[in-house]
Amino acid sequence: MNLSVDEDEHSLEMTIPYVAKIMEDCKNNFKIVPVMVGSLTPEKEAQYGAIFSPYLADPSNLFVISSDFCHWGGRFRYTYYDQSKGAIFESIQHLDRQGMDIIEQLNPSAFTDYLRKFGNTICGRHPIGVLLNAVNSLPPSEKAKLSLRFLKYAQSNQCYNQTDSSVSYAAASLIFNN
């Protein structure tokens, strides 16, 4: 990436210290291999997913995919609002939940369709797409053992009018079930 993109990028700056803190008791027993994922076509997400798939299947590896969810408001140039869902913050939550439900289904093409339909401003949509494609590239017997569940959802602000803004956050866990 060029210098200006590198200087604007902050996901590693946010994620690495968190991972280091969580893993500090075994700090000499693991390596962090950061991978930055930029804008990708669905075809490239599938290609990279296939590359990462064997590593995802290896239980000695841990993947951390970092993303926030909807960036809503004029300053983000995204103000999708479905009034039938209630206040703006409730519409945002409904929008995010739709995406989260699709991610839980581990269906990369449905996630791509959701993004095309709503244009939700999920910063990590491409790393999420790569992860979903990595799962999709696993043998069916391995894929059947996986489950992804969202554990927590929050918004930085409850938006009630068009001058408000908010960023949504969600945490999920992908596990292999025996």
131/79 Cα distance (integer angstroms) = 27
Over range 58-82, report the average pLDDT.
92
Model pTM score: 0.91
| pLDDT bracket for residue 85 (50, 70, 90) | very high
Give φ, ψ of 74 to 5 degrees. -60, -35
- Which CATH number applies to 35-176: 3.90.550.10, 3.50.50.60, 3.40.830.10, 3.30.2350.10? 3.40.830.10
CA distance to 24, 37, 69, 79, 146, per residue, from 99 (Å): 33, 19, 9, 17, 18
- The ranges assigned to domains in the chain are 35-176
102/122 Cα distance (integer angstroms) = 14
Q: What is the pLDDT of residue 120?
A: 96
Greater confidence (38 vs 149) lies with 149
51/128 Cα distance (integer angstroms) = 15
